[in-house]
Amino acid sequence: MANIHTPIPNLKLNDGHSMPMLGYGTGTAWYKSGNESKVDQACIEAAKISMNMGYHHQDAAEVYKTETELGQAIKQAGISREKLFLTTKVITNISDIPSALKTSLKKLGVDYVDLYLIHAPFFSDKKEDHQEKWRQMEELKAQGLTKSIGVSNYLPQHLDWIFETCKVPPAVNQIEFHPYLQHPDLISYHKKKGIATCAYGPLTAVTKGAGGPADEVLEKLAKKYAVSPGEISLRWCIDQDIVPITTSSKEQRMSDYLRAMTFKLNPAEIKQLNEAGSKKHLRGFWTHKYDENDKR
Ligand SMILES: NC(=O)c1ccc[n+]([C@@H]2O[C@H](COP(=O)([O-])OP(=O)(O)OC[C@H]3O[C@@H](n4cnc5c(N)ncnc54)[C@H](OP(=O)(O)O)[C@@H]3O)[C@@H](O)[C@H]2O)c1
């Protein structure tokens, strides 16, 4: 297995904190549909391996029901807390955000997270509800229970509501992002407002979307940089200042993805992938909330 020493770069957030530009997720493939108390040893093992390999940015959520596993992995990995960047999210217990975070902290076995996110905006269509929830997020930051606060799956309209009344702007919006879902309007909104973008599903063009119009460009670039199309997909995010959150059950893939830190795509190559990707639309998550052709 390759032993890559190239460090993962950091992205500076609008509140002064920094986020490692590649995250490891304990959702999707690790998502527990059954009883939360049944501990998934494979998830513990994989998260631990990832941390020891250098994935210090770990992405969790209460709804994944794997915070206990991540907590065990953190303990077993023996990496000091300050080196880790831990994200978790609230949605199931959105009615009581402060106690949701306290429960998450207990499961994770830590005193604070680095980033706490409202997992999705679908809990209410009312602006006042969003503004009230955001006030609660601001309080948790003020109490030191989370270093940064942000959102996930928000559209400009939801962000506008928060900006109307916030004291602390969202540091991050974590969204599905890959060549087949580039939502350029949302990304330019983020840039204008200083919100960092995290990309989930970054490998979609080579997994669910394989056989699509981006294949040729991905393969050409993979050949040029002697990496895989998946690593090109991760680098394509990073070179647009977007932080990909991936996951894998396989040590070899976790190791291979670190090769995305060893090269850079040039602007013409990014453009080629953007153009090829925009010929197809594919959304893999929250599909019940969007029309088939809704690219926002
Ligand atoms: N905020 C949200 O609403 C939200 C939604 C979804 C996800 N997320 C977060 O983002 C993380 C990553 O999401 P994701 O899993 O969609 O990311 P991804 O990086 O696009 O996909 C990773 C998955 O692809 C599989 N894979 C990799 N290469 C493959 C190949 N060549 N052929 C077939 N399968 C391949 C991996 O399986 P192997 O185990 O075989 O490598 C893994 O299950 C989640 O764990 C979660 O933390 C957040």
> To which residue do tokens 């840039």 refer?
191
Q: Which residues are catalytic?
A: 64
Run of H or E including 251: helix 251-257
CA angle, residues 242, 247, 253, in degrees to nearest 5: 105
Question: For the chain, what percentages of helix, strand and coil (3-state, to nearest 5) are there?
Answer: 45, 15, 40
Q: Ligand 1 atom 34: the closest Cα is on which residue?
A: 207
Atom of ligand 1 nearest to the CA of 244: 19
**Residue 6: what pLDDT?**
74
What is the largest distance, in Å, between two alpha-carbon atoms of the chain? 52
What dihedral angle (degrees, nearest 10) is formed by the CA atoms of 107, 137, 28, 159? 180
Ligand 1 atom 35, closest CA: 207
Distances (CA, A) of 277 to 2, 186, 280, 295: 30, 17, 6, 12
Residue 51 CA to its chain's centroid (Å): 16
Residue 172 has a pLDDT of 98
Q: Which two tokens stand for residue 98?
A: 């402060």
User: Both tokens of residue 48?
Assistant: 């631990």
Q: Tell me, in angstroms, the distance from the centre of ligand 1 to residue 24's CA.
A: 9
Predicted local confidence at residue 3, as pLDDT: 56
Which residue type sits at 196?
A: A
Q: How far is the CA of 126 from the centre of ligand 1 (A)?
A: 32
Compute, in angstroms, the gap from residue 144 CA to the centroid of ligand 1: 30
Alpha-carbon distance 93 to 100, whole Å? 6
**Per the annotation, does 119 bind a ligand?**
yes
CA distance 288 to 121: 14
Residues with CB under 6 A from ligand 1: 25-29, 59, 119, 152-153, 174, 200-204, 206-207, 230, 245-250, 253, 285
- Ligand 1 pocket, mutate which of 200, 218, 233, 250 (most atoms under 8 A from CB): 200
What's the pLDDT score for residue 145? 98
Which of 245, 250, 256 for mutating ligand 1's site (highest number of atoms within 8 Å of CB)? 245
pLDDT (tens, 9 = 90+) of the chain, 296 residues, equals: 555 567 899 999 999 999 999 999 999 999 999 899 999 999 999 999 999 999 999 999 999 999 999 999 999 999 999 999 999 999 999 999 999 999 999 999 999 999 999 999 999 999 999 999 999 999 999 999 999 999 999 999 999 999 999 999 999 999 999 999 999 999 999 999 999 999 999 999 999 999 999 999 999 999 999 999 999 999 999 999 999 999 999 999 999 999 999 999 999 999 999 999 999 999 999 999 999 988 99
Instruction: List the domains of the chain with CATH numbers.
Output: 10-202 (3.20.20.100)
Q: Which of 129, 132, 103, 131 is nearest to 116 (CA)?
A: 103
- Beta strands (DSSP E) in the chain are 10-12, 18-20, 23-25, 57-59, 85-90, 113-118, 146-152, 172-176, 196-200, 242-246
Ligand 1 centroid distance, CA of 204 (Å): 8
**Torsion sign, CA atoms 259, 264, 266, 272:** positive
